[in-house]
Amino acid sequence: MNSTDQKRDVFIAIADPTRRKLIHLLADVEELPLHELTIQFQMGRTAVSKHLSILKEADLVTNRKIGRETRYRLNPAPLQEVKDWLSFYEKFWNEKALLLKNILEE
């Protein structure tokens, strides 16, 4: 990202399995500190922080400091863009499945 503070594309942010797992972990709780997120992965705190900052750049995660601890929270609103994009293909596949069912029943 450059210094103009552009938002990261949500599709790029969720493309990585580690970031998808972080989203999943944060979806089940109000917020989690970095050290609790880090223990869920076989990587260091710095690597997890980098993934979290990518999610933050896509507005999928917010954070707040409490003393020396950083706590992260999911912001699911940007995932609506993914849902909207996928809904077209869901309709497509539902139509194809119905067509196949009709052909098989004939």
40-76 pLDDT tens trace: 999 999 999 999 999 999 999 999 999 999 999 999 9
Q: With a cut of 80, say whether residue 4 has pLDDT above it.
A: no
Cβ-proximal residues to 74 (8 Å cutoff; 6+ apart), any chain: 23, 26, 27, 60, 61
pLDDT of residue 90: 85
Closest CA to 13 of 72, 76, 71: 76
Task: Provide the residue ranges of all domains of the chain, joining segments of one domain with +.
Answer: 10-77
**How far from chain centre, in Å, is Cα 42?**
19
Q: Looking at the domain covering 10-77, what would its CATH class be?
A: mainly alpha
| Model confidence at 6: pLDDT above 70 | no
| Per-residue confidence band for 1, with pLDDT thresholds at 50, 70 and 90 | very low
